[in-house]
Chains A and B, each alone.
Chain A
Amino acid sequence: MSSAPAMLKGVMATRSGKIGVVLVGFHLLLALMSPWLVPYDFAAQTALVDHAGPSLAHWAGLDTLGRDVLTRTMLGGREALLVTIFGTGLAVVWGSFFGVLAGYLGGRIDELIMRSVDIFLAIPWMIFLLLVIASFGNAPIVMILTLGFFYGIGVVRMARAATLEVVVKDYVLAAKARGESPLSIMMTEILPNVRDVLMVESAMRWSWMLLAFSALSFLGFGVTPPTPDWGLMIANSRIYLALAPWPVLMPMIALSSLIIGINLTADALAKSLGVDKTTRALV
């Protein structure tokens, strides 16, 4: 029922929603603009003054190799955002396609899809992901495809559950009795009525995927050095945490603020669309 501007308005109606939108907007803007805003080259080293604290020249200090922490933090979310935005999009598209299909058709196809989902859910995804990255490298496209695939599995279940609630409605029955094709019923009768649930779900998935990507980077599988990345920055500097907290604190603040922003937005979206997040169903 609501268009994109109406949805934004609904989110902005609550205070937490406003904070969320501002945080997410800030990070998106920063990711787009940071190459032109950063004060230093991200790989440039200031010799002999590694681990220096904040100073006028380097507001957030220097890291182990004497690189500017502020610069690296500002740039550190770019790849994470690129991968997770496209990854979430992919997850929601394929997940909801199979979820709606399973929920609408039922029977054997439902069984087939859902049992496959169960099998994939039983695989420890992190190990599988590491395997894929080890075989195909960590190019953004590989990351998008693998993360998108794994996070879509949960979307299948959720989209199916939402579909099951809509399928029993008389307007779906009316469309069947009218002789509509299954594709047309799924696209025009079911999809618009599960869209709200999918919207909230994709926002939630985005924040989880961001965490997963950062975890991969932390383990050294996400981005290749010297490209700056939050997870990698934390990993590289954590052993000096007591000595020099800034190189760890800055990416932590950046990552947390983004995830908190996404979660606040998702909460506000759920509230304004009338979707109950705990049951993932329309209230």
Chain B
Amino acid sequence: MTGSLLSIENLSIGFTGLNDQPIFIVRDVNLTLAAGETLGLVGESGCGKSSLLLAMMGYYKQGLGRLRGGIAYDGQDPGLVSSQQLQALRGGGMALIPQNAGQALTPTLRIKAQMVEVLRLHSDLAPGAWHARCLALFERVKLPDPEEMLERYPHELSGGQQQRVAIAMALAGEPDLLLLDEPTTGLDVTTQVGVLSLLQEICRDLNTAMVYVSHDIQVISQVCNQIAIMYAGEIVEMGPRADLLNQPVHPYTQGLLASIPRLDQQTLPHPIAGEMLQPVHRGSNVGCGYAGRCALATDQCREIAPLAQPIADRWVKCHEVTAARAGEFIRPAQKLLAPNLSDSELLAVEDLSVRYQAPTWLQSLRGQQPPAIVRAVSFGIRKGEIKGLVGESGSGKSTILKTIAGLQPSLSGRITLSGTDDLAGPVESRPRRCLRKVQLVFQNPDASLNPRKTTGEILRRPLELYFDLGPGVMDEEVDALLQRVNLPESYKGRFPGQLSGGEKQRVAIARALAAKPELILCDEITSALDVSVQAAILKLLLDLRADSGVSLLFVSHDLAVVETLCDSVLVLEGGEVREAGSCAEVFKNPQHAYTQALLASVL
């Protein structure tokens, strides 16, 4: 196609497996990008979006290569040019902004040295003009006090500032195309908003084209005009932003959009059944990659790969477009009204303060105290209540959770369970009956299950510890637990490494349930999961509460998730409570400036 800056035709990336079978990580991707255009690539983890992005720069992760198809950037194929030309292309013609800028910057070099290196390689400026150019770039990305920033080391910058430096470095070579790999994923929501608006501005003012990769379609829709949805290595739907968001056609796009929790929604996020088959496991199986999870899948879908068919301005890879457009297969459930909670308080936290370090002898000599992470926090949880704890990183929300679990000693304050049990002490000092009542589920399911134990062994352990059961009853209990978290009984013999992320998190929840707890502490338990899987876990938690009346303390940075799940919410900033109340009140009518800022940052 003429006039296009980047065009990719039938590109497949992967490796050759046993018996010379090609294994695709990315398959049959077609796309074109005109100068100044912005394209967002959306997909779940492992769908091949980063591999595709890197291939645009002519780079393949170790072991991967181009199996077929072509890439043309400005008429040149980055896979065929000489290494000198490629070096000029990377950083000059196109520039990559990585996910974690903090790790992409060299920790031992001052920012200035790193900026100058880029200018030396990718600009024609005389060395005398480098300093001024650095300052201009830093002003461009709105870094405060550019002079001083240049003299700092990367660790002296905040996460948002590091990302801005990375953007400035990418802009140094005046690229025509910016490649962004989840550049805001590790940032707090309020910081993310700033970075996104900066990117928008840059595209508008400099007419730079952009390919933006993210798992978060809401982030993409802030920045990009064109959106491509990737699933299991393929682009399944691609078109202009408004069309795609308002009238998604592909069943996966529809499912993805329906699974996102939103603040103003009256319905529950609707999970997509199952989890994505990783491109590696698809092997050379033809047929639609989504067929296994699709409600509309027919035999044709399972056997024949759908071809791209145009619909107005976009195209879709689906056999069942008519049925999909009818859109009858997703019926989100209405949000449940909060149950009538009894007034009996299950957990009372009064005046809790926590700090990590004890004062050093020098500090105690001077009468100084190291700063507390949590300061004078008080709240209560009623029986059957789901309480949200929101705040940005460093607000002390996980610390509060760990203190209640007895893993972090408190400085002062009282924690009481059911009015009588004292939970202020460390876990070693608590009687077993107290331990049983409070269970903890962690953020990262990969780290919270012992990789050397089977699911059955993991679930049996709390039963052995807290209850005196016969061996027959024990097995029945384990089966019942798996059933409660919607896993088949056959999973008993599996090791965590044989489970997907969502399945691992279900096992972790089942382990907590095994103790028949009264309170489950949930530490960001859905943030490591894909959004379509997250919706299923949220639904599971609501069901469990309805069944057993267990209370949850749910820590999250995601306000929409909290609004979907929780009855009441506590907003934390810098270890102090800024606002507390029922979810409806706090989210509809936030009183504190910080809560308002947080809500304004939700995309």
Measuring CB to CB, which residues of chain A are less than 8 angstroms from any residue of chain B? Answer: 1, 169-171, 173-174, 176-180, 188-189, 192-193
Contacts and interface: CB of A to CB of B under 8 A. Distances in A.
B406 A170 contact: no
A179 B447 contact: no
A188 to B, nearest CB: 8
B449 interface: yes
Nearest to A192: B452
A177 B450 CA distance: 14
A258 to B, nearest CB: 32
Contact of A192 (B443, B449, B450): B450
B15 interface: no
Contact of A180 (B440, B444, B452, B465): B465
9 contacts: A1-B451, A169-B447, A174-B511, A176-B427, A177-B407, A178-B435, A179-B427, A179-B432, A189-B450
Contact of B451 (A174, A178, A180, A193): A193
A177 B449 contact: no
Nearest to B508: A174
Nearest to B452: A192
Contacts of A193: 450-452
Contact of B430 (A171, A174, A179): A179
B493 to A, nearest CB: 13
A173 B442 contact: yes
B409 interface: no
Nearest to B443: A170
A174 B442 contact: yes
Give the contact-size bracket for chain B: 20 to 34
A178 B461 contact: yes
B379 interface: no
A171 B435 contact: no
A173 B407 contact: yes
Nearest to A189: B450
Contacts of A171: 447-450
Contact of A170 (B432, B447, B497): B447
A174 B452 CA distance: 15
Lowest 3 A-B CB distances belong to which pairs?
Answer: A192-B452, A170-B448, A179-B435
Given A170-B444, A173-B407, A178 B462 contact: yes
B405 interface: yes
A176 B405 CA distance: 10
Interface string B504-526: 00000001000100000000000
A174 B517 CA distance: 14
B435 to A, nearest CB: 4
The interface residues of chain A, by DSSP majority, are classed as helix
B495 interface: yes
Contacts of A179: 427, 430, 432, 435, 465
A192 B457 CA distance: 14
A1 B452 contact: yes
Interface in B405-442: 405-407, 427, 430, 432, 435, 439-440, 442
Contact of A177 (B405, B453, B461, B495): B405
Quick one: which of B406, B443, B450, B495 has the most chain A CB within 10 A? B450
Contacts, number: 53
A58 B302 CA distance: 74
Contacts of B462: 178
Contacts of B495: 1
Nearest to B450: A171
Nearest to B435: A179
Nearest to A180: B465
Contacts of A1: 451-452, 495, 497
B498 to A, nearest CB: 10
A176 B408 CA distance: 11
Contacts of B432: 179
Contacts of A169: 447-448
A174 B465 contact: no
Nearest to B457: A188
B407 A176 contact: yes
B170 to A, nearest CB: 31
Contacts of B406: 177
Nearest to B445: A170
Contacts of B497: 1
A180 B448 CA distance: 15
A171 B441 CA distance: 10
A180 to B, nearest CB: 7
Contacts of A178: 435, 439, 461-462, 465, 515
Contacts of B427: 176-177, 179
Interface in B444-474: 444, 447-453, 461-462, 465
Given A177-B407, A177-B439, 4 more contacts: A1-B451, A170-B442, A178-B435, A193-B450
A176 B402 CA distance: 11
Contacts of A173: 407, 440, 442
Given A1-B495, A169-B447, A171-B447, A177 B452 contact: no
A177 B440 contact: yes
Contacts of B450: 171, 188-189, 192-193
B314 to A, nearest CB: 43
B169 to A, nearest CB: 30
Nearest to B432: A179
A202 to B, nearest CB: 18
Contacts of B439: 177-178
Nearest to B436: A179
B255 to A, nearest CB: 30
B481 to A, nearest CB: 15
Nearest to B497: A1
Interface in B134-191: none
A177 B427 CA distance: 6
A193 B405 CA distance: 24
A282 B76 CA distance: 42
B29 to A, nearest CB: 32
A174 B462 CA distance: 11
A177 B521 CA distance: 11
B7 to A, nearest CB: 39
A192 B462 CA distance: 19
Nearest to A195: B452
Nearest to B461: A178
A164 to B, nearest CB: 15
A186 to B, nearest CB: 13
A193 B495 CA distance: 13
B540 to A, nearest CB: 19
Nearest to A169: B447
Most buried by B among A1, A169, A180, A189: A169
A9 to B, nearest CB: 18
B351 to A, nearest CB: 23
A78 B451 CA distance: 40
